Amino acid sequence: MRANATKTASTRIVEIVTRFKDDDYALAYVQKSFLSETGHLKVFELKCPSGPDFSGRWDEKPSALDIDVLGVDRAARTSFKNSRDGSSGHHTIQVTADAWKFAVNIIYRGRRIFEGTVHIALDQERAFKSGLKMGGSFTC
C-alpha cells in the first residue's frame, strides 16, 4: 500500500430494498462484511439450489458495487459480465451522487433474478508510512 493511502476495510448494509426476487433464490448478507485476504469485499449473495448463485461485492478501483455469477463456466461468466446472451447485471448503477446506494437488476439467460436497491456504508482506513492506521465510517 502506498504511503498515506486510503482503502475500504469493510462495508455495512444500510438498507436493501427488494422490488423483485425470483422465488427460487434466497437473499443472504451479514450486517458488516470485512475485506478478505484476497481483497474480496462481499456485500450480499443470492443463492439458489438449482441454478447459479450471485455475489454482490465492493469494487474499490471504480468505487462500485459489482455482481458476479458463481458456479458457471467461464463463457457464462463472461456473457454475464459483458451483458450478452440474455444476461445482465454485473454493473450496478449508483442512484445518488452523495450516497453509496446502487440499483441492482440481475437477469441471467433471460430469467429475471433480482431487482432492487442496495445501500451500503463504507468503513475506510488510512495507512501511513510509519505503519499507523486510522479508520472511519462513511454513510450518506
> Are the CB atoms for 126 and 138 separated by under 8 Å?
no
User: What is the domain count for the chain?
Assistant: 1
Query: Can you tell me which residue has the cell 501511513?
Result: 128
pLDDT tens-digit series, residues 99-121: 899 999 999 999 999 999 999 88
- Name the pairing type of β-strands 26-28 and 133-138: unpaired
User: Phi and psi of 55, rounded to 5°?
Assistant: -125, 125
Q: Which of 95, 92, 47 is nearest to 70 (CA)?
A: 47
More confident residue, 60 or 2: 60
Tell me: pLDDT of 136 over 90: no
The range of the structural domain enclosing residue 124 comes to 5-138
Q: What is the pLDDT of residue 5?
A: 65
> Are the CB atoms for 84 and 126 separated by under 8 Å?
no
pLDDT tens-digit series, residues 18-51: 999 999 999 998 888 887 777 778 899 999 999 8
Cα–Cα distance, 36 to 25 (Å, whole number): 25
Q: What is the pLDDT of residue 123?
A: 84
